[in-house]
Amino acid sequence: MSNSRIYVDNSATTPMKKEVLTSMLPYFSEIYGNPSSVYAEGREARKAVELSREKVAKAIGAQPNEIFFTGSGTEADNWAIRMVARANKAKGNHIITTAVEHHAVLHTCQELEKDGFEVTYLPVDEFGMVSAEAVENAIKDTTVLITIMTANNEIGTIMPIKEIGAIAKQHGVIFHTDAVQAIGMIDIDVNDMNIDLLSLTGHKFHGPKGSGALYVRKGTKIGSFITGGAQERNKRAGTENVASIVGLGTAIELATSNISEKTAKLSKMRDYLINEILEKIPYTRLNGHRTQRLAGNTNISFEFIEGESLLLMLDMKGISASSGSACTSGSLDPSHVLLAIGLKHEIAHGSLRISLSEDNTMEEMDYIVNSLIEIVGKLRAMSPLYEKVSKGNA
Ligand SMILES: *Cc1c(COP(=O)(O)O)cnc(C)c1O
């Protein structure tokens, strides 16, 4: 086991599937035409792009002409929020979101505040859940956009998207959801859920990095984000990244073809991991919702532990996980998500995210649990505070 690494950071990115790579390869060299060209090479590239568009549309219950390819999930979020805000300025300047969104959403909203928009950052409960009722109560005459993620990337909490979509529709407010973590894990139907805009990205479901898409419901008022040529029906200029788009199509088709089977396997491993850690290691707590939770997500806080030390020692044992404490290395700020669910700074700093994929095994879960028991024991043995507490005179 120690010879091969255990990768459990699938919420950060996933390895590309062989089938995905195979489907992409011809489009780097043999089929190199520009999809906008009218001759045979161009037409062949165009065909591949449109086939991929159909696959993405089918995966979320949309029409192909409602899918626009982007260079990332971040770009899709930026486009949706900025360009809906701008296009609907005459109606109002109010946006509703939550305190636990990805930075691609939060930082975009903060930018818009500088431009005179008013943003409501709804709080979440101790499990990371926003209530649909709170969303409804926040709506004003000036509200032009609700942007709330389908599932949280740090603690895995699945938001009541269908209820929020119904409320948005009832009040005539445009509803965007960042579904980056949800694709391939939750069945999504943009019509059933009344979603007007949806962001996704290939590399979170075994597709290529730098391949994303924005779904835009027909008739939604939104401007183009990147101006230039007429690609993507005048909405997103720049020659299409054909190979990447093909890979995105292959990956989303694979990822959404076996959701129930996959999530059954993942949640079994996840629940085993959670129960073992909470039972065998004292002073631990689960972050996020116990059941309304992404199938592969585990997020646990270890008291008296520095998350970064935990990560380094796991790395030495061949385990690649993520600390829940900082989104990007170099940042010492505790996670805004963990603070939003009410964790104290020191507890938030001792958090670990383990995010699984179909490639993981039960045997690996045992190795992770045993490694954690050993590492946490070692780190706590060096903590004067833990010594005090464990002797009962804290
Ligand atoms: C990863 C992620 C993004 C960003 O997607 P990129 O393609 O890496 O830019 C946005 N939102 C959520 C919830 C994510 O997990």
Q: Which residues pair with 138 in a beta bridge?
A: none
Ligand 1 and 178: CB distance under 6 A: yes
To test the pocket of ligand 1, the residue of 201, 203, 252, 336 to mutate (highest count of ligand atoms within 8 Å of its CB) is 201
Crossing angle of helices 307-316/362-381, nearest 10°? 130
Largest Cα span, the chain: 80
- Counting beta carbons within 10 angstroms of the beta carbon of residue 170, is it exposed (0 to 12), middle (13 to 18) or buried (19 or more)? exposed
**pLDDT computed for residue 276 by the predictor:** 98
CATH number for the domain whose boundaries are 18-255: 3.40.640.10
Q: Where are the domains of the chain?
A: 6-14+259-393, 18-255
Please tell me the predicted confidence (pLDDT) of residue 2: 45
181 C-beta closer than 6 A to ligand 1: yes
Is the pLDDT score of 87 beyond 50? yes
Ranges of H-type helices in 214-297: 231-234, 242-255, 259-280
Q: Is the beta carbon of 72 within 6 A of some atom in ligand 1?
A: yes
Cα(37) to centroid(ligand 1), Å: 32
Name the residue of 11, 69, 79, 153 to mutate for ligand 1: max ligand atoms within 8 A of Cβ: 153
CA distance 205 to 181: 8
**pTM listed for this prediction:** 0.96
Distance (Å) from CA 378 to ligand 1 centroid:
34
Give catalytic residues, as residue numbers: 327
Top pLDDT among 325 and 149 is at: 149
Q: What is the pLDDT of residues 209-249, one digit of tens each?
A: 999 999 999 999 999 999 999 999 999 999 999 999 999 99
Confidence category of residue 90, pLDDT binned at 50, 70, 90:
very high
Contacts of 245 (CB under 8 A, 6+ apart): 48, 49, 52, 53, 69, 211
The closest-lying atom of ligand 1 relative to the alpha carbon of residue 203 is: 7
Residue 330 has pLDDT above 70, yes or no: no
**CA dihedral of 58, 79, 353, 184, whole degrees rounded to 10:** 0
Could you identify the atom of ligand 1 that is nearest to the CA of residue 74? 9
- Confirm or reject CATH 3.90.1150.10 for domain 6-14+259-393, answering yes or no: yes
What pLDDT score does 33 carry?
96
- Across the range 87-100, mean pLDDT stands at 97
Rounded distance, CA 244 to CA 327, Å? 26
What average pLDDT is seen over the chain? Answer: 95
Mean pLDDT in residue range 76-83 = 98
Which of 204, 245, 252 gets mutated to test ligand 1 (max ligand atoms within 8 A of its CB)? Answer: 204
| pLDDT (0 to 100) of residue 192 | 98
358-371, pLDDT tens digit by residue? 999 999 999 999 99
